[in-house]
Amino acid sequence: MEVSHSLSRKFGIAKFMQKHQWREEGDDGTFFYRATYHASEWKLYSQSKGDEEWQHHDPIPDELLHKLREVMWNKYQRGRCPHKLVTKIDKMLGKD
């Protein structure tokens, strides 16, 4: 079954892996974050400015899950991602 892009947005059906990136600036410098959602699984990577390697977080710490949820909630509010992604993070945090 072929799913059009408009249907995938309307019903929250993801055809491909979704990537989400953000950065944070703090006292320790700038950190870059990259989260991917594929096959009903979140993966999170981070990197400080100047580093070449990305650090994979497995399992994802609660602090980073809260940051990811905030980013995804803001994207959902702007219509940039389905609510399903936010609820998946809530389940990981134990917020059923």
The domain tally of the chain equals: 1
Looking at the predicted structure, is the pLDDT value of residue 7 above 60? no
| Percentage of residues in the chain having pLDDT higher than 90 | 75
The gap between the terminal CA atoms of the chain, to the nearest Å, is 32
Angle among Cα 38, 95, 87 to the nearest 5 degrees reads 35
Domain that holds residue 25: 17-93
- Residue whose tokens read 């497995």: 58
Is this model's pTM higher than 0.85 or not?
A: no
Torsion sign over Cα 6, 35, 26, 77:
positive
73 domain-assigned: yes
- Residue whose tokens read 């993801």: 14
Looking at the predicted structure, is the pLDDT value of residue 34 above 60? yes
Which pairing describes strands 55-57 and 29-38: parallel, antiparallel, or unpaired?
unpaired
10 domain-assigned: no
Q: Which residues on neighbouring strands pair with residue 38, listed in sequence order?
A: 41
